[in-house]
Amino acid sequence: MSRKMFLVLSVIIVFAMVMSACAPVVVETAAPVETAAPTEAPATMEPEPMDVTLRWRTRPDNQAEIDVYSSVSADLDAAMDGVTLVYEPGGSETSSYQDVLKTEIGAGTAPDVFWIPGTDVADFATRGLILDMKSMADATDGFSAGDFYPGPMYHLTFNPETNMTGEALWGLPRDVSTFALYLNLDLIAEAGADDPRELAKEGKWTWEAFLDVAKKVQALGSDVYGYGANAWWGPYGVWINSAGGNFYNADRTACGLDTPEAIAGLTFERQLYVEDKVAVPYGEDSEPPFMAGKVAMFQNGRWATPGVRANANFNWDVVELPTGASGQGNWLFWGAYVVNAKTEHPEEAWKLVQMLTTAETQGKIAALGANIPSRMSQEAFDAFLTFTPPANNQAFLNGIADANKPTAEGPLWAGSWPNYDSIMGPMVSKVLNGELTIEDYQKTICVEANKAFEQ
């Protein structure tokens, strides 16, 4: 090959590469599993004259969820005239979902619609990263924010400028979740302890009963534990909530971790770890020992169910959390679909957010077992309850029932949640590891944590 020809070919290759990069991205969407349009149509909007492409993203936990979301995307694509949907599973083994998303928002390449955890809503909204859809929602026939759990909607409709709820709409909750105790029934039976499910039915599932079961199981051996939970704000938060305490004061403008109620909750939890030593040491991942059959009661959310189904080689079920002075103290975890403030198609994006949160769509996701529908609809609950084991699915629904006063996971509108968490977490960790006394903790925690409200 002559030098000239080689040169020409090289130039053509480079040119072709650049040209191909210029071409609009061709995205392969998964074939729809079911082609039928959703039965519960979202509120209607004016049909769009132009064909637009909407990118949307949510954080799936596994490949099965990616497949279902792809299928949902294909179904909605077929149902939305003039709109082409592109689903992007977010996160990977080596990159956090939120980090990638924030980087893309900074670079201006984030999708039109994306999911964020409930705690991030304030940060995203106050920085102008997500769209307030209130005006579009008001103009939409048939839409009602009251169809969703009120806890998440309180924050999703909060207007930081007026400090009033119901005056904005930042998104709609994708799903909700809550804690339950995953039980190793074999271990509990071996220890001769009462079955927590029976105690719960009889209304005797209290902190004392819980501690009794934990102690009996722990007596089986030094490598066996009555209770296990992972080290983040969720698990220790329930003990604080259950004792009648809260992370914040009533209007969420200051720290509430030093109140007698909050201290009572943490003191009980410290007893599990430090005094009675019935719990997997704080900071250790409790899931492996639970799967290995060495933990009787493993506190985790609904998202852990697929993993337990796949890996537990013992009889297991779930039970709701034990009640303290103020009930279960459970969390209502949630995340929301929000619309990128820079989207070029806000109306189509709003329509997509509605369609992603219909009872039918949520039912499909809930049928995988990892999530509880965020829409308070019997259809969605039925889909959730059909997913067994665990036999006692109702324990999750009980956890978020109004009667049990769950605390909605919430963003901090008056401060910085990441800062608050980074102050609270290490100090609680020191308490539960026995490195800090409850008295010293009570003296310092709110002085330190209140700094998160000054930012």
Partner 1 sequence: MQLENDQKSIKQTQMIIKVATYWHFLLSFSGIFLLFIILYEHGFGKIPVWLSYIAAILLGLLSIGSFYSGIQLIKNRRQGRTASLVVNYLGLIISILFLFQNLGVFLGVDALANTFGSSIGWLSGVLIGYLVYTAGDRFHYRIHIEEMFHKIGKYIALIFFAIFLIKAGLIPALIFLAKQMIIPTNFVIVFISILFGLAIWAMWREATALYLNRTNAQTEALEGYLFLSPNLIGFLIFFAFPLVFSFYISLTDWDAFGNSNFIGLTNYFKLFQLNLKQLANSSQDFFNVMDGSIFSELLRFNMFGKSYVLGAADARFWIALRNTIVFGIVTVPLSAIPALFLANILNSKIPGMKIFRAIYFLPSIAAVVGISLIWQWLYNATVGYINYFITIGLDFINNIFSTGYPQAQIRWLSDSRTALLAIIIVSAWQTMGFNTVLFLAGLQNVPKELYEAATVDGAGRWAKFWKITLPLLAPTTFFVITTTTIQAFQVFEQVFIMTNPPGSPGTSTLTIVLYLYQNGFQRFQQGYAAAIAWVLFIVIFSVTLLQFRSQRKTGAYDV
Out of 292, 312, 325, 438, name the contact with partner 1 by CB under 8 A.
292
What is the residue type of 358?
Answer: T
CB 178 within 8 A of CB 406: yes
Cα gap 230→282, rounded to integer Å: 7
State the minimum distance, in angstroms, from the CB of residue 284 to partner 1.
5
Looking at residue 173, what DSSP letter applies?
E
Out of 142, 192, 260, 288, name the contact with partner 1 by CB under 8 A.
288
Return the residues of window 258-287 that contact partner 1 according to CB under 8 A. 280-285
- Report which of 240, 392, 386 is spatially closest to residue 320, judged by C-alpha positions: 392
State the minimum distance, in angstroms, from the CB of residue 426 to partner 1.
5
- Calculate the alpha carbon distances from 38 to 60, 73, 195 in Å: 21, 12, 42
Q: Does 50 bind partner 1 (CB under 8 A)?
A: no
- Calculate the alpha carbon distances from 104 to 101, 108, 335, 355, 364 in Å: 5, 6, 19, 24, 29
Out of 62, 84, 422, 437, name the contact with partner 1 by CB under 8 A.
422
The DSSP bridge partners found for residue 183 are 297, 317
The tokens for 353 are 């957010």
Choice between 93 and 138, CB closer to partner 1:
93
Contact pattern from residue 302 through residue 341 relative to partner 1, giving x for each residue in contact according to CB under 8 A and a dash for the rest: ----------------------------------------
**HEC profile for 126-160?**
HCCCECCCHHHHHCCCCCCHHHECHHHHHHHCEEC
CB 133 within 8 A of CB 339: yes
Q: How many residues bind partner 1 (CB under 8 A)?
A: 62
Stretch that binds partner 1, among 45-53, 100-108, 180-188, 383-391 (CB under 8 A): 100-108
Stretch that binds partner 1, among 76-84, 297-305, 372-380, 442-450 (CB under 8 A): 442-450
- Report which of 172, 169, 221, 214 is spatially closest to residue 193, judged by C-alpha positions: 214
Q: Does 223 bind partner 1 (CB under 8 A)?
A: yes
Is the Cα torsion angle 366, 370, 373, 378 positive or negative in sign?
Answer: positive
Out of 24, 47, 49, 146, name the contact with partner 1 by CB under 8 A.
24
Q: Does 17 bind partner 1 (CB under 8 A)?
A: yes
Contact pattern from residue 121 through residue 160 relative to partner 1, giving x for each residue in contact according to CB under 8 A and a dash for the rest: --x---xxx-------------------------------
Binding residues vs partner 1 (CB under 8 A) = 1, 5, 9, 12, 16-26, 93-94, 98-99, 102-103, 105-106, 109, 123, 127-129, 222-223, 225, 230-232, 280-285, 288-289, 292, 294, 416, 418-419, 422, 425-427, 429-430, 433, 435, 443-444, 447-448, 450-451, 454
